[in-house]
Chains A and B, each alone.
Chain A
Amino acid sequence: AQSVTQPDIHITVSEGASLELRCNYSYGATPYLFWYVQSPGQGLQLLLKYFSGDTLVQGIKGFEAEFKRSQSSFNLRKPSVHWSDAAEYFCAVGAYNQGGKLIFGQGTELSVKP
C-alpha cells in the first residue's frame, strides 16, 4: 500500500540556521510528490511539487526539495530559516491512478528559536 513517512514529529531550529525535513514514501510507480505548509488554524499552502524531470525542485519562500528515487525520499530544505517559517509541514504523494487522492505524511512541526 502507498504510504508516506515523516520521521520527525517536531523539529526546532534557530533563526538563520539551515533546515531539512525528511520524507520517505512507498509507492510502486513514479509518484507525484508535494510539500505543503499549514499555519495554525489555516488550510494547506503548496510549497513545491515534483512531477518529473530535474530532481531538485524550487518552491516558494526559498524552499527546495530533492527527489531521490533510490532512497524513496523527497526531503525539504531551506538554507536559512526565518521566524515566520514556524508551522507544520506535510509531505504528500499523489498518482494518476490513485483516484485523485493525496496521501499525506503525519506532518513535522517546525519551531524557530530567536
Chain B
Amino acid sequence: EAGVTQSPTHLIKTRGQQATLRCSPISGHTSVYWYQQALGLGLQFLLWYDEGEERNRGNFPPRFSGRQFPNYSSELNVNALELEDSALYLCASSLTQGSYNEQFFGPGTRLTVL
C-alpha cells in the first residue's frame, strides 16, 4: 500500500513569491493535515481538511491557505513568502474522524525562502 506522497521534495523561492505544495493521502483516507517543522520551533499544526472542507487551522496568518480536492489530495499555498517560512512542511492523512484515528506522515517538502 502506497504511503502519503508529497511534491516537490525541495522548493526554493524568494521573499514575496508564492509557494504551492502538494500532498496525496493514503488510499481510503479522507482527512489531510499539514504541519510546519521549522528550525527551533518544532512541529506546528497548520491545517486540517476533511471531505473537501477546512475543519481547523492552527495559529498561522491567512497567507497560509489550502484546499482539498474531490480525490482527497490537498494543496498548501503560502503567499507573500517571508524568510521565516523556510521549513519542512509535512502532510499527514488519516481515516475520517468518526473516532480518533492515527495520522500517517509523508516525507515532507523542504521550502527554502531566500
Which residues of chain B in 32-71 are interfacial with respect to chain A, using CB atoms and an 8 Å cutoff? 33, 35, 42-43, 45, 48, 50, 55-56, 58
**Chain A residues positioned under 8 Å from B108 (CB to CB):** 42-43
Tell me if B31 and A100 are in contact (CB < 8 A): yes
Task: Please give me the residue from chain B that is nearest to A6 by CB atom.
Answer: B42
Q: Which of A15-23, A67-75, A103-111 contacts B (4 or more CB under 8 A)?
A: A103-111
Contact of A100 among B4, B50, B90, B107 (CB under 8 A): B50
Task: Please give me the residue from chain A that is nearest to B44 by CB atom.
Answer: A104
A11 interface residue per 8 A CB criterion? no
Tell me if A46 and B104 are in contact (CB < 8 A): yes
Tell me if A42 and B50 are in contact (CB < 8 A): no
Tell me if B107 and A102 are in contact (CB < 8 A): no
A34 interface residue per 8 A CB criterion? yes
Tell me if A94 and B107 are in contact (CB < 8 A): no
Contact of A99 among B42, B48, B104 (CB under 8 A): B48
Tell me if B33 and A44 are in contact (CB < 8 A): no
Distance of A43 Cα from B26 Cα, bound (Å): 14
Q: Which of B12-20, B76-84, B95-103 contacts A (4 or more CB under 8 A)?
A: B95-103
Distance of A52 Cα from B73 Cα, bound (Å): 31
Q: Interface readout for B82-98 with A: 1 if CB under 8 Å, 0 if not? A: 00000000101000010
Residue among A44, A90, A96, A105 having the largest count of chain B Cβ atoms under 10 Å: A44
**A107 and B33 in contact, given A36-B105, A42-B107, A43-B107 (Cβ under 8 angstroms):** no
B106 interface residue per 8 A CB criterion? yes
List 4 additional A-B contacts (Cβ < 8 Å) besides A43-B106, A90-B43. Answer: A34-B102, A43-B4, A105-B42, A107-B42
Residues of B within 8 A of A (CB): 4, 6, 31, 33, 35, 42-43, 45, 48, 50, 55-56, 58, 90, 92, 97, 99-100, 102-108, 110
Give 5 nearest A-B pairs by CB, closest first: A99-B56, A101-B45, A100-B48, A104-B43, A44-B105
